[in-house]
Amino acid sequence: QVQLVQSGAEVKKPGSSVKVSCKASGGSFSKFGISWVRQAPGQGLEWIGGIIPIFGTINYPQKFQDRVTITADESTSTAYMDLSSLRSEDTAVYYCASGGAVAGTWYFDSWGQGTLVTVSS
Amino acid sequence: DIQLTQSPSSLSASVGDRVTITCRASQRINSYVNWYQQKAGQAPKLLVSAASILQRGVPSRFSGGGGSGTDFTLTISSLQPEDVGTYSCQQSYTSPLTFGGGTKVEIK
């Protein structure tokens, strides 16, 4: 199981960008993947993209395709999530997560501690 | 995108009660569903993978079921105070991965 530690809380203006980091120990992204999941206040979990080894390349939901960039640097075991054109609805806790596959299912069994991103003018 | 609909959205039950949460997929997803528990202020924790595989260390009162390919259940056989939290299902049948809206479990 991978251990994940995320960067600290951010406060951003509407229209700006935010970059959140996630440092991994105990495993490689190519094997355990790395995804980003967010949770708006009082809302459910939402996958915003990631590297899922059983799917191949980096995947993004269409909703975020134009605004999210996920990168992973194996040399430093650090992944990044860059979200641009921020709006108030992007205020949420952002988690990085990694996992594995069993019986064809991809699951997340390691989670970062979460990073609160607040978008406010 | 595959939609996952959980029911109920919230429930209140007594200690010792049997509790069942349902997750219905908008199309067949075989057994490609996982269940998570999230306590207030914490990250989600994986409980069950591939519909019915209990994760190591998870109490045996938790179980996952469902074989129709669209309807899945998470059952707590005897609810305990430490089970308070929100439970969410997640599918990985196809990208984008999606989660259910969550079921909030409280003690009566």
pLDDT band at B67 (very low <50, low <70, confident <90, very high): low
Model confidence band, residue A1 (pLDDT cutoffs 50, 70, 90): confident
Going A52 to A31 to B73 to A92, the CA torsion angle's sign is negative
Q: How far apart are CA A16 and CA B43, in angstroms?
A: 26
Q: What is the identity of the amino acid at B103?
A: T
What's the rounded Cα separation, in Å, for the pair A23 and A40? 23
Q: Inform me whether the C-beta atom of residue B32 falls under 8 Å from chain A C-beta atoms.
A: yes
Flag if A95 and B44 touch (Cβ within 8 Å). Answer: yes
Distance CA A38, CA A114 (A): 9
Are B92 and A52 in contact (CB < 8 Å)?
Answer: yes
Tell me, what's the pLDDT at A104? 84
* Least confidently predicted of A103-107, B32-36, B39-43, B44-48: A103-107
A22-26, A40-44, A53-57, A83-87: which has the minimum mean pLDDT? A53-57
- Above 70 in pLDDT, residue B7? yes
Cis peptide before B8 (omega within 30 of 0): yes
3-state secondary structure of B57: coil
Chain A residues within 8 A of B43 when measuring between CB atoms: 95, 111-114
pLDDT tens string A2-35: 999 999 999 999 999 999 999 999 888 888 999 9
Q: Which positions in chain B touch A52 (Cβ < 8 Å)?
A: 92, 95, 97
| Chain B nearest C-alpha distance from A61 (Å) | 5
Distance CA A108, CA A1 (A): 10
**Closest chain A residue to B55, measured at CA:** A109
